[in-house]
Amino acid sequence: MSNNRRRKRGALTGTIGLGLAAVVGAGLLATTGNPASAATLEVDALTDPARAEQIMNDCNNPTASGAVCDWTNVTAEAAPDDFNLISDSQAVSKWVNCSSTNTTTAIEWKMQTSHAWTIGEKTEATFTLGALFEKMKVSASLSEEFKITSTGSFASTTTLVIPPGETGWLVHDSKRAKITGTLVAKIGADDITVRNLSLDAPRFNDAGAIAAHTRKHNGSDTALCKDGAAPAGLVESSDGSDLPLQP
């Protein structure tokens, strides 16, 4: 009887061994055929701007992240003009004529504009992505009108004539384009699509336009004159916060 029991135990052990091998083998096949880490992701910058921004950073630094990225469905349209108050090399942006005659002054100025990314509804002027900017620019089939550059540089000397009792200032107007596209990224095993990304950038070869404006003195201008005008009757101020960009 003891021999029979041993044989039964042996048969049972063999059956368990085969069962375990089958389960382990099936598990290995499942793991190999369906990697748990792989995913196809859709990211909407409107609802998840933080995730969209991280993917953009990964795409902008492919050496560190290993990301392979490109743009699809890239379109271009006119963006609102960019108006900027001009300051000279001494940071003066407002010229107040405290005299009783016309005052003429030559203003030497320079300025620079830059591109800005829009992630969902958030515009980040400081979010500088050089490689990603170049990829979008190359991917876009842009007409001559909407060709863009990362920065626009402007400089000139402008003569400003200010009547008595008035204040003068300069405003620079530059043209811009809005480029919209879908970012497609391969990061690790993940395939990621990011929507609702756009770029506002200076138009290539835009010379811009400069406009001279004057207005009657307001209270702050009158106070500047009372504080003591220069011999020529002209007071210069770096506080242009009360000056409209589009009078």
Full pLDDT tens readout for the chain, 247 residues: 444 443 333 333 333 343 434 433 434 333 334 445 568 999 999 999 999 999 999 999 999 999 999 999 999 999 999 999 999 999 999 999 999 999 999 999 999 999 999 998 888 877 789 999 988 988 877 777 888 999 999 999 999 999 999 999 999 999 999 999 999 999 999 999 999 999 999 999 898 999 999 999 999 999 999 886 666 689 999 999 999 999 8
Note whether residue 167 is domain-resident. Answer: yes
Phi/psi of residue 208, each to 5°?
75, 175
Closest CA to 95 of 167, 156, 166, 171: 167
Domain assignment present for 155: yes
DSSP-based three-state secondary structure for 127: coil
What pLDDT score was predicted for residue 229? 60
- Residue 246 is assigned to a structural domain of this protein: no
Return the CATH number at 88: 2.170.15
What residue numbers bound the domain in which 232 lies?
Answer: 40-237
pLDDT at 33: 43
pLDDT at 21: 40
Is there a domain that residue 24 lies in?
A: no
Please check whether residue 201 lies inside any domain of the structure.
yes
Residue 120 lies in a domain: yes
Pairing assessment for the beta strands 209-216 and 234-237 based on DSSP bridges: unpaired
Q: What is the pLDDT at residue 171?
A: 98
- Assigned domain for 34 exists: no
pLDDT of residue 9: 36
pLDDT of residue 36: 52
> Does residue 226 sit in helix, strand or coil?
helix
Print burial letters for 49-66: b (CB count within 10 Å at least 16), e (below 16). bebbbebbebbbeeeebe
Domain count, the chain: 1
Confirm whether 182 is domain-assigned.
yes
